[in-house]
Structure 1
Amino acid sequence: MFRRNRYTIRCDPMGNCFAWLRPSRVRLTPTNRYRYDNTIDVVSSDKNALVLRRIDFQIESNSWDHRTEKYALTKRPNNPRLVVRRGTPFEIRFTFQRQYNRKDDIINLVFTVKDAETTSYAQSIRITIPVFDDRNTSNVSIVLEDEWSAKVIKVDGFSVSIEITSAPTAIIGEYILSVDTKSISKGNRSLTTNPVKESIYLLFNPWNKRDSVFLKDREGRDEYVLNESGIIWRGTHEKMKPTPWNFAQYEDLVLEASLYALSKVGRLNVTDRGDPIKVCRHISAIVNSVDDNGIVVGNWKEDFRGGTAPTDWHGSQAILQQFYKTKRPVKFGQCWVFSGLVATSESSLDVSNTICNMARCIGIPARVITNYQSAHDTHSSITVDRFFDEEGEPLKGLNTDSIWNFHSWVEVWIKRPDLSMSGAYDGWNVIDATPQETSDGLYRCGPTSVEAIKQGEVNKHFDGKFVYAEVNADEVYWLFLGPKQPVKLISQLTDSIGLNISTKAVLRNTRVDITDNYKHKEKSAEERETMIRALRLSRSQYSRYYLNERFEDIRFEFLLLDDLLVGNPFTVRLRMYNKSNKVYTINSVIGVRTTLYTGVTKAVVKKDRRDVRVGPKTEEEIAVLVTYSEYEKYMTDQGLFSITVMANVIETDFQYYAMDDFRLRMPDIIIQTIGDIIQGKPFTCNVYFINPLPKSLTKGTKDPTILTDYLTMPVFPETEARASFTIIPKTSGERTITAKFTSLELKDVDGLKNIRVSASFPNHSYNN
C-alpha cells in the first residue's frame, strides 16, 4: 500500500487497485468508472441488469431514527411517505427480479428535487450516488463526509438493503428516486433505469453537527424543533397574557404547504433551499400576503368581515391547510399569528406563530419572542419621535413612528458564516413576517443576529437598524404648538422601549425573560456605548436631539392599577408633590383611549381637564374613574387602553407628559379531564368559565383543539358557561389541550391544560 496526495491506493491480491479518501475536509466530486449521467426516460437497455420489483422505505424504523414519526405523511393509510433529516443515514430495502451479484451488479441511486424546473448535477438538483459494496473490490467509491453516499449493508435473497446518507448541506424538500442498474458480466455498458413512484422528503437536521442548524442542547431540540404546542405572550408589559398556540407542524398537509410556499410563492431558487439563511429570509416574506400573495392577510383594524378575527385563531394547522387547498391568502392575521406560522402561533392569526410553524416543520429550531413596548421606527433614526398638542392628544399627521404594546417575532437557530467565520454571530437570529417596512424591496425582516443587536452592530445583515430600534430606541416627546412654531422637546426616555422580552421556557409552560440577550442593562455604561455606536451608524437628523434640563420642584407620579377583570371599573391617578416653598398651579388633561395592540387609537373614552393649586411641601391627587358603561362600546378584542397625562406648570411653562398602556384581563377557561387518557381511546374533556360582564353573553362558541360547541343559551352575568367534548388522542406523550371562547360581547377568552397520553402499545424510544 502506498500514498499519493490525499488518497490511499490499495491493491487486492489480484492486482486490482481502488481508491479511498483519507479523512479530510477537502470537497471533491465523488466519481468512479461506473458513474454516469442518465435520463429518466430510459427504462431497460440491459437484459442482464437488476430490475426493481419492490421497494420498502422502512418508514417506521427510519422515522424513529430521524425523529419524524409524528408527521402525518409517514402515517397515511394509503401511500405514506418517508420523511428524513439530511446528513443522517436511512435504510431502504430494494427487491429485484433475481439475486444481487456482488461482483457483477452495479447500482446507482439518482435523487432529483421534484419541483426543479431544470435538473443539474453541478447545482445538486440531481444527485447520482454509486452504491458502494465493501465486499466487492471492483466496485470503487469515494465517500466524502459532506456528500451523499450509499452502501450495501445486507443481502437477503433477492433483496438488498442499502444505507443512504444525504449531504448535511443538501437541498431540503421533496425528492424523486430512480434506481439505475447495470451488469458488467459481459462488458455491457448500457443501463436499466427503475423509476420509483413514491417521493422522499428531506429536512434540515439540528441533530447533525455538520448542519448549519445544529443545536447542541438536547432539551432545546425537544422544545424548539419537536414540540408542537407553545405559549405566546401578549397583553402589556405590566399585565402579560399567556396565550396557548398549537404549531401543528406534523399535521396533514402542513409540510406540503410549507414547501409549496417556499417554492411557488416565495420562488426561492432550488439551489438556495439548502441554505437556512436564505430559507429563513424567504419565509419572512412569504408568510405575509403583501408582495406575493403569501399565506396570511394582515389586518390591524376592527373589521374582520370576510375572514377570521386574528384573536379567534389558536393554531397554525387550519391556516396552512386552508392556504394549501385554496392557494389563496388566509384572512386575517396580526404579528403573533405570523410568528406562529413561522413557528406556528396565536389567536390573532399571529404572523410569528406561522413563521415558527414553518421553521420547525422543515427542521429549523425556532421559538416565538414577544417584545413589550416595541418601537416601530420608520426613518431609521434609532429614536421614536412622538408629537402631541397642548392637551396631550397625539398628532396623526406627524406621528409616523409608533410603539406597539407588544410585538411578536421568531428567533431561528442558525449559523451566520456570512457575518463572521469565527461563529461570533451564530445562534439565535430574528426573522419577522409582519409587514412593517420593506427590506430589499419586499416586506420582510431578517435574519438578524441577536448578538449583533446587543452590540449595536446595526449594519450587519439583515435589517439591523430596524430590529435594534424595536428593542432599544429612545422615546422622544415633542410638543407641537403650530405649523409656524418651533416644536418643544418635552422629554426623552432612554429605558421605555424593549421591556420584558419574553419566550416560553424549555419544556415548561412558563415565561422566560431574555431581555439581556438583546441589550445591556438599561442606563448602564455598556448600554449607552452601544446606543452611541448605533446612532453613529444612523444618518437621520432626529438622532442628534437630546434631553433638555428638567424642572425639579414638583414630582409627578402617574398611577394605574393593572390587574382588573374586564367588566370592572378602573381609576387613573395623578399625584403631584411640591418639594419647594413656592405655590404652583397645575393645568392637567388626562385622556383615556381604547387602542389596538399596535398603539393605534380606536376611540377616546374619556378626557378629564382640571386646574389644581399645589402649596409648599404638600401633595395633591387627581383621580379619574372609568366605568364599564363608559368603555363598553369602545372596547377592542384584546381589552387594551392607552392613558395619557399632560400637566402644564403655569408659573414656569414646564410640561410633564406621561403615557402608559394597560389591558383588562379576560377570564380564564378551566379545563378538566375525566378518566384515563390513552392513545387512540376517547376521553371526556369539560371546559367552563364565569361571565365577568354585567350583561349576558350571546352567540358563544367554545373550541378545544379543533372541536367546536355552539352555546344555544345566553350566559347570564356571573354565571357559568360550560361545555363537554370527547377527544381521541392520536399520539402518546406530553400533550396540551387548548380551549377558546368567543361571543358578540366577549372575545379572546382561552385556557390550556397539560396532559400525558399513555401509549396503547409499547413505544419506540430514541437517544436525543
Structure 2
Amino acid sequence: MLPPILLLGDVDLNCPSNCQIHNTHFFGTDRQIIRRGQAFNFYARFHNREWDDSMDQAIFTVETGSHTQNMCSLSQSISGNISVFPPSNACIGRYILNMQITSCGHTYQRCLGDFYVLFNPWCADDPVYMDNQAQREEYVLNEHGILYEGVHKHITSRPWHFGQFEDGILDICLKILDMGASYHHGSDRDHCWRNDPVHVSMVVNHMVRTNGIPENNDYLKGTKPFSWNGSVPILQQWYNGRCRPVRYGYCGSLASVMCTVMRCLGIPSRVITNFCFPCSNENPLGINEIFDCTGKNLCGKDKLWRYHCWNESWMARRDLNQCCGDWQCLDPTPLETAYVFVSILLSGPTWVRSIREGELDLDYDGHHMFSRLNSNYVGWLSQNNAKKTKVFCDTWPCGQHLSTKSVGSEQLEDITGSYKYELGSVKSKEAYYRAYRRIHPGYCNASNCHIDRELSSLKNPFLSDSGINMRLKMTNCPMYGEDVQLHWLLENLRSEPKTLKFNLCAQIITYNGCPMDQFWKDSVSVTLGPREGKKVDLSNALLTTVLFRRQIADRRPTIFYRISGDLILVGSEINIMLNIDS
C-alpha cells in the first residue's frame, strides 16, 4: 500500500521570536519583519503523517510584485521547524512566501503569508554593517534625535521625533521606493537595484528633494516650516494626501525625514548641521555679498545660510571598492548650483572622507559639498557710480562647527574634522589644491604656488593697514522679549590720533541668509587718541528691536536672538552691519 500524500496543516510564522532576534520588534510583533543575511524560523505541522525525506520535498519561493525568485530550499524537516535564510544581498521590500511540496509524485503549492526584508547593520556581509553596538542603537534604533540651529557662536537645539517604528511608517517608506523606481530605472519591473544601499539612498534623496516630503518654500499657504517637531506627521500627510507635496519644510525637516526613512529601511543615519553654508555657488569656492555705504545688504537673494542640515548614512561603497562602511553625506534640500549636473549626480551619496581630502572625482556631488564647506567670503561696497570695491575677504566662516547628536547622550558632537583638516594646516592646503584643480579646469596642471598667487588676490588690502581694532560684544544672551545689550569696542593701534566716521545699521537677516528690512541706522563720529581704546554702548540705539521681534515672531517661533558684527572698512570710514540671526 502506497503512503498517503503529505498534507500541510497549520503554519506558525513565529513572528515575535524572529522580530526580537532581528532587532525589528520595535515595529511590533504582528508582522514578519526580518533583516537580510540572517535566518528566520517558522513551524509547519502536517495532518496525516510525519515528514519522510525519501518521499517528500519542499521548495520555497518568494514574490514581490510580478517578480518571483527562489530564496532557499528545504532539504529536510523532521520536526516541522523550518529555517529560511535571505541572502545578504537580497532586495529590501515586502515579499510573499510560498511553499511548494512534492510528495509521492504529487505537487501542490500554498501561500504561507508575507514578510518584509530590511538592510542589516548587524550582518558583516551587508554593506551597511556597523560593528559598534552603541552606534547601531543610536543610528538605527533610536527614534529620538536633536537638531542643532542658530549661529556658530551660539548653537541652539530642538528635539525631533524620527518615529521610524511608528505604525504605517515602513509601508510609507516602501511606497517612497515604489514611486522612486521610475527615477532610477524607468520602471519597477526589476527590483534588483533595491539590494544596494547606494542606489536606495539615491532614490530616497531624490524623492525627498523633488517630491516635497516636505516641500521647501514659503509657508503662507501651508504649515509653518518650523512648527514640525517630528517626521511621522509629515510622512503621514504625504501618504494620505496621495503623495502630494507637504507644505512646508526647511533643511532640518527635510534631512530629518530622510533620516527617518533610512533608519526605517535599516541604513544607519544621522542629521548633520553646518554653520555658515552658501546655498548657491555662482562662483565656486567664493561667496560674494554686496553692501551700500550704510552697511545694508543689497544681494536681495539667498546667499549664505546661517546654518544648513543634511543627512549622513553609513555604508560600504562597493562602487568605490570600499570593503568597510563609512559615512556618506546626502543632502535632500534643493540647492542652486552653477554646474550642469545630471539629476542623479546631485542625489548621490558623497563619501565624507573624499570631501576632506579634496578627491572630488570619486563621488557624485563632491564638487557641491567641498565648495560649500571651503568657500571664501568676499564683501563688496557698491558705490553710486555702479562700481564695486572689494572691501574684505574672510577664509574662515564656511564649514565650521559641523554638529550632530552624540551616541547615547544628549550632548553635541563636533565632527568638523571629518569633513576638513584644521584651517591653515599642510593637509588642509593640499586638499584645497586638489579640489581647486578639479573645480577650475584651467588649473589642472598648475603648481601649488600658482594657485597661491591666485588666492592671494582675494586678500583685503585695507584691514591690514587700518590700524584700528574693533569688535562687537554682546553682554547678555537675550530671551524672547528682552532687549539686546551690545558693546562696541574700538582700539587705535597707531601712535597718532584718529577721527573716524562710522555708519551703523541693523538689518533683519533670516536664518537662510536672506536680507530683509533695515530697522535702525545711525552715523557716529569717534575720536581716538594714540593707542586709545573706547567702549561704546549700543543698547539704547537698539531698543527698536521690538519691531524686529514682532516681524520675526510671525515668521519663526524661537526664544533666542543673536547679534554678530561684520566689519566693512573703506579708507577712514567704517561701515558696520549688525546681522541679527533668528
TM-score (normalised: structure 1):
0.67
Aligned to 1:739: none
5+ residue gaps, structure 2, are 186-190, 443-450
User: Separation in 2 of the partners of 1:632 and 1:412?
Assistant: 38
1:177 and 2:97 aligned: yes
Aligned to 2:188: none
1:104 and 2:55 aligned: yes
**Cα shift at 1:642:** 6.1
Secondary structure, counterpart of 1:507 in structure 2: coil
Secondary structure, counterpart of 1:367 in structure 2: strand
Aligned to 1:429: 328
Contact 1:380–1:538 under 8 Å retained in 2: no
Aligned to 2:84: 164
Contact 1:474–1:494 under 8 Å retained in 2: yes
**Cα shift at 1:209:** 0.2
Q: CA RMSD in A?
A: 2.6
**Cα shift at 1:105:** 0.8
User: Separation in 2 of the partners of 1:176 and 1:483?
Assistant: 73
2:22 to 48, 56, 66: 66
Q: Residue 96 of structure 1 aligns to which amino acid in structure 2?
A: F
Larger helix proportion of the pair? 2
User: Separation in 2 of the partners of 1:366 and 1:104?
Assistant: 49
Size of the aligned set, in residue pairs, is: 549
Q: Residue 297 of structure 1 aligns to which amino acid in structure 2?
A: E
**Cα shift at 1:262:** 1.1
User: Separation in 2 of the partners of 1:108 and 1:483?
Assistant: 83
**Cα shift at 1:655:** 5.7
Q: Residue 263 of structure 2 aligns to which amino acid in structure 1?
A: R
Q: Residue 631 of structure 1 aligns to which amino acid in structure 2?
A: F
Q: Matches of residues 8-407 of structure 1 in structure 2 within 5 Å?
A: 50-72=6-28, 74=29, 80-98=30-48, 99-114=50-65, 118-119=66-67, 126-133=69-76, 152=77, 155-156=78-79, 160-183=80-103, 185=104, 188=105, 191-196=107-112, 198-265=113-180, 267=182, 268-269=184-185, 270-288=191-209, 290=210, 293-299=211-217, 301=218, 304-327=219-242, 328-337=244-253, 351-379=254-282, 381-396=284-299, 402-407=303-308
2:550 to 630, 633, 637: 633
2:483 to 569, 572, 589: 569
Aligned to 2:446: none
1:534 and 2:435 aligned: yes
Cα distance change, pair 266–641 in 1 and its aligned pair in 2 (3 A): farther
Contact 2:289–2:299 under 8 Å retained in 1: no
Contact 1:49–1:181 under 8 Å retained in 2: no
1:501 to 361, 381, 402: 402
Contact 1:272–1:278 under 8 Å retained in 2: yes
5+ residue gaps, structure 1, are 1-46, 75-79, 120-124, 134-151, 338-350, 664-768
With 455-464 and 637-646 compared, the bigger mean Cα shift is at 637-646
Cα distance change, pair 305–490 in 1 and its aligned pair in 2 (3 A): closer
User: Separation in 1 of the partners of 2:368 and 2:10?
Assistant: 55
Structure 1 or 2, whichever has the larger Rg, is 1
Q: Residue 278 of structure 1 aligns to which amino acid in structure 2?
A: H
| Structure showing greater relative contact order (alpha-carbon pairs closer than 8 Å, 6 or more residues apart) | 2
Secondary structure, counterpart of 1:629 in structure 2: helix
User: Separation in 2 of the partners of 1:420 and 1:482?
Assistant: 57
Aligned to 1:683: none
**Cα shift at 1:86:** 0.3
1:602 to 507, 511, 516: 516
User: Separation in 1 of the partners of 2:5 and 2:330?
Assistant: 51
Q: Residue 590 of structure 1 aligns to which amino acid in structure 2?
A: L
**Cα shift at 1:179:** 0.9
Contact 2:404–2:413 under 8 Å retained in 1: yes
Contact 1:410–1:431 under 8 Å retained in 2: yes
Cα distance change, pair 443–128 in 1 and its aligned pair in 2 (3 A): closer
User: Separation in 1 of the partners of 2:493 and 2:372?
Assistant: 37
Contact 1:375–1:498 under 8 Å retained in 2: no
Secondary structure, counterpart of 1:410 in structure 2: strand
User: Separation in 1 of the partners of 2:360 and 2:488?
Assistant: 39
Contact 1:590–1:643 under 8 Å retained in 2: no
User: Separation in 1 of the partners of 2:89 and 2:384?
Assistant: 60
Aligned to 1:137: none
Q: Matches of residues 615-694 of structure 1 in structure 2 within 5 Å?
A: 615-625=529-539, 626-627=542-543, 629-635=546-552, 636-637=555-556, 638=558, 645=566, 648=569, 652=571, 662-663=581-582
**Cα shift at 1:49:** 5.1
1:472 to 374, 379, 382: 374
Q: Residue 368 of structure 1 aligns to which amino acid in structure 2?
A: V
User: Separation in 1 of the partners of 2:370 and 2:397?
Assistant: 14
User: Separation in 2 of the partners of 1:429 and 1:586?
Assistant: 51
TM-score (normalised: structure 2):
0.88
User: Separation in 2 of the partners of 1:436 and 1:194?
Assistant: 51
Contact 1:66–1:85 under 8 Å retained in 2: yes
User: Separation in 1 of the partners of 2:283 and 2:321?
Assistant: 24
User: Separation in 1 of the partners of 2:121 and 2:64?
Assistant: 21
Summarize deviations over 1:224-252 as a string: whole Å, max 9, x none: 11111111111221221121111111111
Contact 1:429–1:446 under 8 Å retained in 2: no
1:409 to 310, 333, 344: 310
**Cα shift at 1:285:** 1.2
Summarize deviations over 1:20-55 as a string: whole Å, max 9, x none: xxxxxxxxxxxxxxxxxxxxxxxxxxx965444332
Contact 1:111–1:127 under 8 Å retained in 2: yes
Give the share of equivalent positions with the same residue, in percent.
Answer: 27
**Cα shift at 1:640:** 5.0
User: Separation in 1 of the partners of 2:426 and 2:575?
Assistant: 27
Q: Residue 461 of structure 1 aligns to which amino acid in structure 2?
A: D
1:586 and 2:500 aligned: yes
**Cα shift at 1:127:** 2.5
